[in-house]
Amino acid sequence: MEFDFINTQIYKDAKAYNKTIKQILKETKPDRILADQLKRAALSILLNFSEGYGRYHRAEKRHMYVTARASVNECVACLDVLYDDGIPKTLLEQSETIAKMLSGLINKFKG
């Protein structure tokens, strides 16, 4: 069995994003609740995309991609709390890139 999702650009970007989030948490050391929420949201992007990729029915795929995109929004909200003076531009750009790719998949699997 091959796991083709590992070779997709969105998976690679989500994995890099997850790694970036982990590094940020090491450097900023936010309170435990925020750190846990941000870590889980970043991982959720990767996991929900992967699960959706393996689903056979269009509606199931779309649902998982919508959930993954919602997790991107959750990350951005956590980052906004973490960075009171504004989220670093590179993080916003990474978030936006992943959200746009997921939106493209969501639109592809509509109705």
Per-residue model confidence as pLDDT tens digits over 53-94: 999 999 999 999 999 999 999 999 999 999 988 999 999 999
Task: Note whether residue 2 is domain-resident.
Answer: no
Task: Note whether residue 29 is domain-resident.
Answer: yes
pLDDT at position 100: 98
Total domains present in the chain: 1
Task: Note whether residue 99 is domain-resident.
Answer: yes
Q: Say if pTM beats, i.e. exceeds, 0.85.
A: yes
Task: Note whether residue 98 is domain-resident.
Answer: yes
Task: Note whether residue 49 is domain-resident.
Answer: yes
Task: Note whether residue 1 is domain-resident.
Answer: no
Percent of the chain with pLDDT over 70: 98
Block residue for tokens 């936010």: 30
Q: What is the domain-level CATH number for residue 80?
A: 1.20.1440.60
Enclosing domain of residue 92:
7-108
